Structure 1
């Protein structure tokens, strides 16, 4: 029979003498709940990689060696993992590998060497930002130097390209280890830093990597992580076919019936006009694109570093700016190819994120945006212009959901004013309103939302007319913004 107190675990008809005390942890947690995010790394593996295609594998934090084994040395998968682990040494990582597209074509390039060397010295060659040093002896011919360059490149299996055929002339042919478009973004150059010069008499003419075609299909990889909540995805593929699938999948996850809030980071390279064209063609709150500004390292490595940093800070405080966070180990591009302030301002308007650089050569995040620029009616909007807006709104939703789910998981529902015993597990709309306002105050104190007094005025919580077992609610939290700009006028007086 019903009593004035209802227990979850103690049966109402127990008659055996004893002391029966259940422990309920539904009110044990206070403050704001931590929001879990899983970082998922997608990328191509080499034939030497042990990973099973389209099978997610969790990896311990920072264990790059395990990912190297899964993807193979020099694989895109291993490259992304190395940068993400450096940027976020505390993240929870899962990797999921793809084979190269069978019909794909590997990118190629070349280096033509002119000799002989008039003096001995060292060639400082950079392959995807990794230094390869080649010794040169006075009198070495172009053919000898080319052979030595090929030997040193092939001696480093972690490089994303190789020289498969030993050169017999002064030209060495570079071939990407992966088939696909990713090889087109592999950078090869020499003597990048001040003081680095080629030995006298030696000239290197590098033909940029090009001709790579065909990307893997991201569809099977997305299907393999279908049930995962709150993903930070790092994708090396930015072709429209794959990006459309990611956008659609993440839009479905973001809806109220799944609430698996997820976000994708990717990097692209190209001229300003190319970047503007790309940004104009995308419109999703679920992806952030980071352009490469003539940098030596591949765009997916830059995106991986940005994703790691954003997930690190976003898990602690979703509203805090990412401005000034340093991408560890990523070299800055030459000053002559960096975007100026007006260019970066325009790129942001097209939904592309931006980086900046300090005097010491550090690469830093300037702003992380999404590509969402117009709503479903085609009207311009800034609703999801910045990633913080999306992550902060989702944090409010998550905290609200956790509150209701932990405090009232098996309660009964009654109208306000119902006369029931204080020990009865019954909740009313007014109680839920009080709890929600209390949550808002907590989030205000934590710097997540502001203006709670106005929030209280607009908060609507009432029992459904159509379904007596349902409570309907509408909340309008005022998200805390970021201090991005300080504008002032100085009107001096002589």
Structure 2
């Protein structure tokens, strides 16, 4: 007897009644929708309400919502310049009332003896002004402050007082301390003769403090599923709150797991210390070193390449992908192999610079390093692992709900009538094995025979409406290291 969904068995009105059943309509592994959430601060010019979820289609939309120069707008601009395929959402935060904005200075001296162009880089953004012969230090300070004020996209504002320009981070908080100041980044930049300037980095005059609290933003997320999240905050309180939320989402009840991306600016030693102090399998942190760009831009660029790749193939590694738009530090500030290896052993991802000056991903890892007993555990080392098993879970749930949407459940070994919507452990197991063969074809898992042998599908002894399944995939790995010995003869 066929199990109809909508045609009643007692209808007597003629003639033909035909319904549809889509349980066999979909074949192959499903494409998982990929949504990325950004959290960061806005400025007053932005139209967005704080702690409210917005879908952001374009970089221009981000500027309108969060304001020109806003941290959040700049993050999304960077992301969109690399990755236009993933669905972007954002939650804006206001500056903390108790927060303090970081400040730095530029002190001019001397008088220009030749005309030229003065160039300063603020968070990687170049600001220039014309210097005529005879320009004094006070005039140069006024000109620089005016040039900074004219560019509302910068991470700072500026005021001039005699020969000193004071830069104030556009946002209150610790993040302002990551705004780099430097002169003459490119070889053809040069300070005009006779004029001199001395920098005090942003955060060294007045240290930024008091990041916004992410608690309300986490509440605003609700149960919306974001496969990627990008945060500018690496302070202990916000990291702990985010890690707890990610772990809860990852669990078997909510099943909306995602990976968060952040960045950390410090010396190599302090970057290692920071990484060693965290242990989340769902956070990827890219240290920026002494790079000109601020950490929130680094986090956005890293997330852009990672999420674009994961959306296409969660098992494929990321080495050599370019972080387009980031400015490499001078060669003397780049980390060597032994330094990179230390970072990778302390939960921090790594990057390198190619011969053309392009920053490229070296390796992306999670911050997970130890099990609950404090012993080394590499089970979640590569971010491909949580990304791949999250996809496997999604495709398994999709397959089961697609093939058995309203089925009855019975034991194996009974000759049920054809067309009956009845699931048995045997039919469910066959469907899971078929799905696993598609995982193999997609290059996500290997060793199908082992999977088939170790797969367990059984009815629950206490709840006869429930099936319990043990799914044992052997994940495909990433080709990271090639080791060879050339044993030659003469």
Identify the TM-score tier after normalising by the shorter chain.
over 0.9
User: Does structure 1 retain, via aligned residues, the 8 Å contact 2:445–2:475?
Assistant: yes
Tell me, in whole angstroms, the C-alpha distance in 1 between the residues paired with 2:89 and 2:388.
24
- Say if 1:36 and 1:230, in contact at 8 Å, map to a contact too: no
Mapped contact 2:267–2:290 kept (Cα < 8 A): no
1:148 corresponds in structure 2 to 143
Q: 2-side partners of 1:351 and 1:13: how far apart?
A: 65
Q: Out of 44, 49, 56, which is 1:47 matched to? A: 44
Paired with 2:410 and 2:375, the residues of 1 have a C-alpha distance of: 42
Partners of 1:150 and 1:493 in 2: CA distance: 69
Instruction: Give the match's secondary structure for 1:152.
Output: helix
Alignment of 1:326-337 (within 5 A): 326-337=322-333
Q: Secondary structure at the match of 1:57?
A: strand
The CA deviation string for residues 126-148 of structure 1, in whole angstroms up to 9 with x for no partner, is 11111111111111111111111
Query: Matched residue of 1:265: which SS?
Result: strand
Deviates more, 1:12-21 or 1:296-305: 12-21
The answer on 1:243 being equivalent to 2:239 is: yes
> What SS is found at the alignment partner of 2:335?
coil
Map 1:199-278 → 2, pairs under 5 A: 199-210=192-203, 211-278=207-274
Tell me the equivalent position of 1:123.
Answer: 118
Match of residue 99, structure 1, among 94, 99, 117 = 94
Q: Would the aligned equivalents of 1:42 and 1:95 in 2 still touch at CA under 8 Å?
A: yes
Cα distance in 2 between the residues matched to 1:258 and 1:246: 16
For 2:473, the equivalent position in structure 1 comes to 477
Structure 1 residue 274, shift from structure 2 partner:
1.0
Provide the secondary structure at the position in 1 that maps to 2:120: strand
Shift of 1:288: 0.8
1:377 Cα offset (Å):
2.3
1:189 CA displacement: 0.9
Between stretches 15-24 and 314-323, larger displacement belongs to 15-24
Question: Where has structure 1 moved over 2 Å in runs of 4 or more?
Answer: none
> What whole-Å deviation, never above 9, does each CA across 1:436-491 have from its counterpart, x for those lacking one?
11111111011000011111111111111111111111111000001111100112
For residues 67 and 423 of structure 1, the distance between their equivalents in structure 2, rounded to whole angstroms, comes to 53
Equivalent residue number for residue 70 of structure 1: 65
Q: Deviations over 1:109-166 (max 9, x none)?
A: 0001122111111112111111111111111111111111111111100001011x3x
Distance of 1:416 and 1:174 partners within structure 2: 74
Give matches, 1:399-410, under 5 Å. 399-410=395-406
Aligned counterpart, 1:111: 106
Indicate the residue corresponding to 1:364 in structure 2. 360
Taking only aligned residues, the RMSD between alpha carbons, in angstroms, comes to 1.0
Per the TM alignment, residue 395 of structure 1 is displaced from its structure 2 partner at its CA by: 1.2
Partner of 1:30, secondary structure, is coil
Structure 1 pair 11–262 and aligned structure 2 pair: CA distance change class (3 A): same
**SS where residue 330 of structure 1 aligns?**
coil
The Cα of 1:301 is off from its aligned counterpart by 0.4
Q: Deviations over 1:18-64 (max 9, x none)?
A: 2211112222111111112211111111122211110101121xx21
For structure 2, the residue ranges without an aligned partner over 5 or more in a row are none
User: Are 1:416 and 1:428, in contact at CA under 8 Å, matched by a contact in 2?
Assistant: yes
1:209 alignment partner, SS class: coil
Alignment-derived partner of residue 153 in structure 2? 158
CA contact (8 A) 2:37 2:226 kept: no
**Counterpart in 2 of 1:9?**
6
Q: CA deviation at 1:280?
A: 1.3
Q: 1:313 aligns with which of 309, 333, 354?
A: 309
Give the Cα separation in 2 of the matches to 1:187 and 1:273: 19
State the shift of 1:168 in Å.
3.6
Task: Give the length in aligned residue pairs.
Answer: 487
Whole-Å Cα distance in 1 between the matches of residues 114 and 44 of structure 2?
Answer: 42
8 A contact 2:229–2:260 mirrored in 1:
yes
